[in-house]
Amino acid sequence: MRSSGKFILLFGTSCAGKSTPASKLQECAKEHFLSLSLDNVFATVSSRWAAGPDSPLATKGFFYRSYNDDDGRRNELIHCGEIGRNILHGMRRAAAAFARSGNNVIFDDMFIEQDAIDDWSAALTGIDALSVQVTAPIEVLQEREAARVRRRRVGLALGHKALNEAFAGDLVINTQDGGLEAAAKMILDCLAETGPRAIERKIARPQ
C-alpha cells in the first residue's frame, strides 16, 4: 500500500502572494511537490456558471457581490451556490487524492466559505498536512491589486481578507517584505517535524 505524501495548504486573500511562495517551495524542497490551486479549478468552470448575481446559472455556481464598507472602500466577494459548493467539496478531495497516491502537494487556496477549513480538515484526514496563512497589510494588498494587468475585479483582496485571517494556520507568512526563501525553509522545516499533523480549525487571536 502506498504511503501518503505530504500536503501544504497555503491560504490567504487575493493578492496575498501565495503563488510565489508555492513556486519557491517547489524550488527549495528536496522532494517533488505538485503545485495546485483554486485558480486552476476556477479556470475549468464555464463562464455561464460564474458571473454576476443577476445570472440565474451563476447563482448556482460562483457569483460576485460588491459593497462599500464604512470607510467607503470597495469590497468584492465571491459567493457560491449548490454547484459551486459541490465543486469546492470535490476540489479538496481531489487534491487529497493526489497526496494519498504518494504525491507531495502544495495547494494555493482562498477561502470563500465559512466552513472551508473544516472541509479541508475532513478531506485531509490521515494525511501529514501543514496549514500556512499567507498575508500582507491591506495597503500592500490593494497596491498589488491595482497593479494587476487586465484585472476584472477590484476589491477581492479586502472582501476576503477577514474570512481568510479568521483562522490561524500552523504558520503565518507575511509577504510584505519578501524573504521568500527563508519563508520556504521555515515551512519545510515545520513540515519535517516528527509526528502526524492534522489541519484543524483554529480561531485566530486578535492582533
The strand pair at 33-37 and 129-135 is best described as: unpaired
The model's pLDDT over 141-197, given as tens digits with 9 standing for 90+, comes to 989 888 875 555 788 899 999 999 998 788 898 988 777 788 888 888 888 874 556
The strand pair at 74-80 and 129-135 is best described as: unpaired
The model's pLDDT over 77-107, given as tens digits with 9 standing for 90+, comes to 999 999 999 999 999 999 999 999 999 999 9
Are 199 and 107 in contact, with CB atoms under 8 Å apart? no
| pLDDT, greater one: 29 or 168 | 29
pLDDT grade, residue 207 (50/70/90)?
very low
What is the Cα–Cα distance from 9 to 3, expressed in whole angstroms? Answer: 19
Angle between helix 82-100 and helix 116-123 axes, rounded to 10 deg:
40
CB neighbour burial string for 91-115, b if at least 16 within 10 angstroms, e if fewer: bbeebbebbbeebbbbbbbbbbbee
